Each structure stands twice: as structure tokens, then as C-alpha cells.
Amino acid sequence: MSFRFLTAGESHGRSLVGIMEGLPSGLKILEKEIHQELKRRKQGYGRGARQKIEDDALEILTGVRHGESMGSPITLVIWNKDFENWGEIMQVAPFKGKVKRQVHVPRPGHADYVGGVKYKHKDLRNVLERASARETAIRVALGSVAKFFLKELGVHIASRVVSIGDVHDSSIVKTPIHQLNEKMDKSPVRCYSKASEKKMIEAIDMARKNGDSLGGVFEVIVSGAPLGLGSYVQWDRRLEGPLAQAFMSLNAIKGVEIGMGFDSAHQSGRKVHDEMAPSQKKVKFKSNKTGGIIGGMSSGEDIIIRAAMKPIATLMKPLNSVDLRSGESVKAHVERSDYCAVPAAGVIGESLAALCLAEAVLEKFGGDSMSEIKKRVKDWRKNY
Ligand code: EPS
């Protein structure tokens, strides 16, 4: 396992922490550039009040010296500003008083109930604090380091929203991928078409008015990934696997597809498989319906991943649940929350893809320093 990472921390605890191991030396890493990615994650029409509280103050604690990685483990921390409002509730030291804001009524759609049974928690806050989507902030911090690494090798990652609720944007992306985020970040819902953007905002407003929430589909596009990442020789080396796992590990994701994805199940082979034609570099693909991954390996074309996000679990007009103390049927617990977080999920997805592809690149090319790996990738690209 040459490249790996871990995260730790609770939503209203003191901090979120991430440790990354296996990154080569010589990569420029600046706190302000990571912070820029964290700011992107906070955006999106339908995001809750927490995003206004947090400034996601980030610090690099280890593994970087004079703005460059050293090849040793990198530790990042994000201080939770809101912790100052949750002192007694979230303090590490034993607390003898009456604990406020306990949770005894699980929210349908969240980890509360099953997590409480699994870990034998009476106060389900012990579950929701770690299960919260707040954790994605530190994964974006780690993922942004992976994005900087991939960018040095000519790999760019962007995202856009494809649908929110039943509003779909069927636009074809024409913007070069390395310029796409600049355009998408200007849209409150990070979608390509202005007409769809308006309808998505209306749908989110309607959900908020009805005390409801919305999910949707986002798309992550990776350009420049070298051909041959992953492998068909072993089940757990097929590149689709770690990407699917990474996206499914994002809060509220219920489906992942690559390229045509589920649509390819309804089409005949002649409409699905990408024909190949002679090209000065031996072969070129005449289309990319496979979404940049074929037979468990990157094809050198854009990698296109879409993920389906279920609506946010916390509803301001809560659904029915059970008070675990009395066993009575009651309305579910309500926590401050988003109404729709699909635009943010796309930004998070970029980081998840970056973390997977950084590992795949290091697995294929190895390399302990940026200069070593850059040369290897450059030489490899001459082959196709
Ligand atoms: C989130 C932080 C959370 C939620 C939200 C997303 O902060 P708080 O619970 O203090 O409001 O706003 O998390 C969820 C909606 C969820 O169901 O986990 C974040 O930083 O992305």
C-alpha cells in the first residue's frame, strides 16, 4: 500500500484531522491553496447555516517544509469554529452535569439508529457527530493535495451538477476540463445550463418551503489520466472498484456509474462500445461512452463518473420515528442541516477521484520524488 490516508474528528468537536502517507517529495503544498478548495466545498444553493459559521481554518502540521512535501506523512487539521458553542456537549474530559442536546429519536435516512445499536450508544449524538457530512471537509483537504499532485502530471479534475430533484441538465460539456470549475463555481448550483440552473434553484426553494430536502446527480470529469492505470489481472486492481468505493463512501450516495453507466444496460453493443481508428499515435477512440475506463484500466480518455445523492436526511418537517427511551412513535429529531448539498458533493467527488487516481498513478509509476515520477509519466505518454 504505497499511498493511503485516514481521517478523524467529529462535526462539533474541536477539529477534523487527516493523515496522508506515500506522497512523493518535492510537491508544492500551500495552506492557502488547500483552503481555496475548502471554500469551494462550502458553496452551493441549499447549503445550511453551518457553512456561514465555519471558515475551515486549515493548518499543515507535518510532512511539509518551506512549502514542499518531503515524502513523509502529511497531517492536516481543520479547526471547528462551532466547537466554541458545543464545549460541554462535546468535551473530551468526563462531564458530570446534565448533557444537553442528546439525541434519542433517530432520523430516517441517517446513521443514527443503526449506529446506536451497533456501538451501544444511548445518546445517538455519538453516532451523528462522526457520521455527519462535516467529515468531508478533511477529505477535501487531503484530496486537494492529491489534485495538486495530479495536476503536476497533467491530470485535471472538475465537476458539475447533472440533476437536482427531477430537474435535469442534459448539456454536453464543451469547456476544456482544466477551465470547467472556474465556470461551474460561478453557478449557485454548479450546473452547465442557465435554464436548468434557474429550475434547480426553484426546486430547492420549493423543498425548503415544504420542510423537505432534495438530492440529485453530479458528474466528475478527469482529463489527462495516463492510459493503463489499474489492471484486469486481479479483481481488486480494476480501477472502477476503488473509484466506486470512494464515491459510495460519500455521505448520502446511493449509486455510482462510469461513462454511459446504467444507460448502457438498455442499449445494444453497437451503440455502446467505442470504435477505434488508426491515428498517428497508433489508435484513437472515436467516442468515449465507456467513460475513460475499459477492462479495469484507464483508456487515456476523460474518466467520467456520476453519482446519485439521496436527499438530505434531516427534514425540517420530520418524518415519523421512535423515541428509543419510551418506544413511542414520535417525529424524528431535527438538526441544523442543508436542504440540498449536490453542488458541494460534486466538489467533494473531485477530491475523492483525486485520492483514488493518485494511488493508481503511484501504483503504476512508483517514484519517491516529483522529478522521478514526472519523468516516468512523460516517457510513458510517448507510448500512445
Ligand atoms: C456539513 C456540516 C453539518 C451539516 C451538514 C453538512 O453541520 P451541522 O450539523 O453543524 O449543521 O450542516 O451535514 C448534514 C446535512 C448531514 O446530514 O450530515 C458540512 O460541513 O458539509
- Which residue matches cell numbers 447555516? 49
236's CB contacts (< 8 A; 6+ apart) are: none
What confidence tens digit (pLDDT) does each residue in 353-384 have?
999 999 999 999 999 999 999 999 999 999 88
Atom number in ligand 1 closest to CA 82? 10
Span between the terminal Cα atoms of the chain, in Å? 28
Helix axes 342-365, 370-381, angle to 10 degrees: 90
| Spatial distance between the Cα atoms of 56 and 41, rounded to a whole number of angstroms | 10
CA 315–ligand 1 middle distance (angstroms):
12
- For residue 2, the model assigns a pLDDT of 84
- For residue 280, the model assigns a pLDDT of 85
CA 184–ligand 1 middle distance (angstroms):
22
Domain that holds residue 265: 4-383
Number of domains in the chain: 1
- The sign of the dihedral angle between the CA atoms of 271, 276, 279, 284 is positive
- Which residue matches cell numbers 512508483? 366
What confidence tens digit (pLDDT) does each residue in 294-320 have?
999 999 999 999 999 999 999 999 999
**For ligand 1, atom 2: residue with the closest CA:** 134
Output the domain CATH number for residue 312.
3.60.150.10
To test the pocket of ligand 1, the residue of 39, 41, 204, 337 to mutate (highest count of ligand atoms within 8 Å of its CB) is 337
Tell me which residues have their CB closer than 6 angstroms to ligand 1: 11, 48, 50, 82, 132-134, 136-137, 251, 312-314, 335-338
Range 105-111 average pLDDT: 96
Atom number in ligand 1 closest to CA 49? 11
CA 128–ligand 1 middle distance (angstroms):
10
CA 234–ligand 1 middle distance (angstroms):
38
User: One-letter amino acid identity for 338?
Assistant: D
| Spatial distance between the Cα atoms of 76 and 261, rounded to a whole number of angstroms | 35
**Residue 163: which H helix or E strand, with range?**
strand 156-164
Q: How far is CA 2 from the centre of its chain?
A: 21
CA 84–ligand 1 middle distance (angstroms):
17
- For residue 282, the model assigns a pLDDT of 86
**For ligand 1, atom 7: residue with the closest CA:** 50
- For residue 171, the model assigns a pLDDT of 96
DSSP conformation class of 44: S
**pTM for this structure?**
0.97
What confidence tens digit (pLDDT) does each residue in 54-98 have?
999 999 999 999 999 999 999 999 999 999 999 899 999 999 999
Tell me: pLDDT of 335 over 90. Answer: no
The percent of residues above 70 in pLDDT, for the chain, comes to 99
275's CB contacts (< 8 A; 6+ apart) are: 285, 286, 287
Atom number in ligand 1 closest to CA 128? 18
Burial 131-161 (b: 16+ CB within 10 A, else e): bbbbbbbbbbbbbbbbbbbbebbebbbbbbb
Q: Calculate ∠ Cα 141-144-150, nearest 5°.
A: 155
Encode 5-29 in three state secondary structure. Answer: EEEEECCCCCEEEEEEECCCECCEC
CA 337–ligand 1 middle distance (angstroms):
5
Tell me: pLDDT of 281 over 80. Answer: no
What average pLDDT does the structure give for the chain? Answer: 97
- Which residue matches cell numbers 421512535? 322
